[in-house]
With several copies, the nearest count.
Chain A
Amino acid sequence: MEISKIEAAIEAVLFSIGDAVHINKLCEVLGQDKKTTKRIISNMCDRYEEENRGIKIVVLEECYQLCTKPAYYEYVKQISHKTREFSLTDVLVETLSIIAYKQPITKLHIEEIRGVNSNHAVNKLIEYQLVSEVGRLNAPGRPVLFGTSQDFLRCFGLESVEQLPFLEESQLSMLKNEVLEEVQLKLAD
C-alpha cells in the first residue's frame, strides 16, 4: 500500500473511532510493522502542525488520538458542548500529584503524605476520571490501589507517566537545605 493511502487510512480510523487507538491495532489493520507505522504517524504529526490544520494527533502511551489544536479553543468553545472547564483546586492537584508520582498507591498512604483525610479529594479525582482504581494491595483488608488514567495524561498533555516533571536533584537538596537552615538559624539564636 502506498504511504499516502496508509496515512489516509490512519486519519480515517482515528477520526471515526474518536477514542485513542493502540499502535498494535493500527499495525494489524494496516498490515504494517510497528516501526513503519510509527514513522508514518510521526510524519503525519508534522503535517498536522501546518497552519491551516485545526486538528492534531496526540500520543498517549502507545495510543494515538485526534484532537483539536488548543489555539482554536476559543472557536470550538462557542459551539461545542464538550469543553470541560473543570478547574482543579490546589488540594486536588496536590492529591493528584501524589497519586501520579507514587502510583499505585493506597488512600492510607496518600493520607500519610498529606497528613489529612483525603477521601473527598480522591473521590473528586475519580469523578473527574483522572484517577481510577488499578488493583488491590496484597495486604490485610486488601486496600484499593489508585493510579492515574489516560484522561489524566490527556488533561496534562503527557504522553506517559514517565513524562511527569521530576524535581531536579538540585531542587530536592535546596528543599532540604531550606528546612534545615531554618532549624540551624533558630538553634543558633
Chain B
Amino acid sequence: MSIPVKIKVFEGPLDLLLHLIDKNKLNIYDIPIAEVTDQYLAYIHQMESDKMEVMSEFIEMAAILINIKSKMLLPVDEEEEEEETGDPRQLLMDKLIEYRKFKLMASQLKELQGDALRVIYKDSTIPEEISSFLPVADPEKLLNEVDFSKLYSVFKSVMKKKTDKIDPIRSKFGEIKKEEFTVEDKMNEIKILCNRYESFSFKDLLEEQQGKVAVIVTFLAILELMKMGLIQILQEALFDDILIKFIGRNNYGN
C-alpha cells in the first residue's frame, strides 16, 4: 500500500498523523507501523539531503509509534503501569488534540482575513508647516521661576566661590618656578641608586618623582640607560612590579 502524499503537504509528523487518521480511517492506536515506516523511508529518499533535519522529526514520530506499538504487544504489568508517570498513548493523544485545536482556530482566523486585507492605510502626511516646526521655549514662562533677587543671589554666590578659589595668602607669594630636570640629571640619580642597591623598583622610583615632568624625564633616563646597556629591566610575571637591575656596576660608581 502506498499513500500518495507529497512532502510539501505535511508540515510535520503530527500533521501527517492527523492526515492518516482523517483520510485513511486509521486509528492512532492501530497505525500499520511497518507501512508507515516504509512511507517515511520513501520520503527520506525523495527528500534532499539538506532537509534531513525535517526528516528526523518524522523519524522521531515513527519511533514513538513503534514504541507504543511494542508496549501494546507486551503483557501489561498492573503495578508497573501504575508506576509510570504517563501513558505514552495519552501524551500523543493530548498532543494531537491540541494540534487539531489550533488547526481549527487557524481556519477561523483565516476567514477573518478576507476583508481586512482589502483595507489601505495612509502614510503620514504631516503638512510642511508642521513637520518643520520646532517647539520654542517661552522665555516669559521660564523666567517665572526666577526673579532678580534669585538671579542676584546666585550671581553673588558664584562670584564668592570664584574669590574663594584664590588663596589670599599664597597668591601674594608670587610665582614659584618649577625646577627643571634634565635627562642627564636623572641618569646620574639612577646611577647613584644603582651603586647603593643591586636592583630597585621601577614603580617606587616613579612615585618619588615630583610632578609630571619629572616622571617623564626619569622615564627617558631609564630608556637611555637601557640603550647604553647599563641597566636591565626585569618583570617576573604579568603586572608584577618592574625591577631595575644594574649590570655595569664595576664601570660606574662614584
Chain A residues within 8 Å of B, Cβ to Cβ: 12, 15-19, 58, 65-70, 73, 76-77, 80-88, 90-91, 93-94, 96-98, 100-101, 113-117, 127-130, 149, 151-152, 154-158, 164-165, 167, 171-172, 175-176, 178-180, 182-183, 185-187
Contacts and interface: CB of A to CB of B under 8 A. Distances in A.
Most central of B21, B27, B96 by chain A CB within 10 Å: B27
A170 to B, nearest CB: 12
Most central of B13, B112, B113, B151 by chain A CB within 10 Å: B151
Nearest to A66: B122
Given A156-B112, A175-B160, A183-B168, A116 B154 contact: no
Interface residues of B, number: 78
A28 B125 CA distance: 21
A97 B139 contact: no
Given A115-B13, A151-B140, A187-B169, A83 B120 contact: yes
A100 to B, nearest CB: 6
Main DSSP-derived SS at the A contact region: helix
Interface string B134-178: 011111111101101011101110111111110011000000000
Given A73-B118, A154-B119, A179-B160, A149 B139 contact: yes
A66 B155 CA distance: 55
Contacts of A178: 160
A186 B13 contact: no
A59 B135 CA distance: 30
Given A128-B139, A176-B97, 13 more contacts: A17-B124, A19-B125, A67-B122, A68-B120, A70-B118, A73-B119, A84-B135, A93-B150, A94-B106, A114-B102, A155-B139, A156-B112, A179-B97
Closest 5 CB pairs of A and B: A116-B12, A115-B14, A186-B27, A157-B116, A73-B118
A165 B152 contact: yes
Most central of B30, B61, B117, B154 by chain A CB within 10 Å: B117
Contact of A68 (B14, B127, B133, B163): B127
Given A76-B127, A83-B135, A97-B105, A115 B99 contact: yes
A32 B153 CA distance: 43
Nearest to B113: A156
A96 B107 CA distance: 11
A52 B130 CA distance: 22
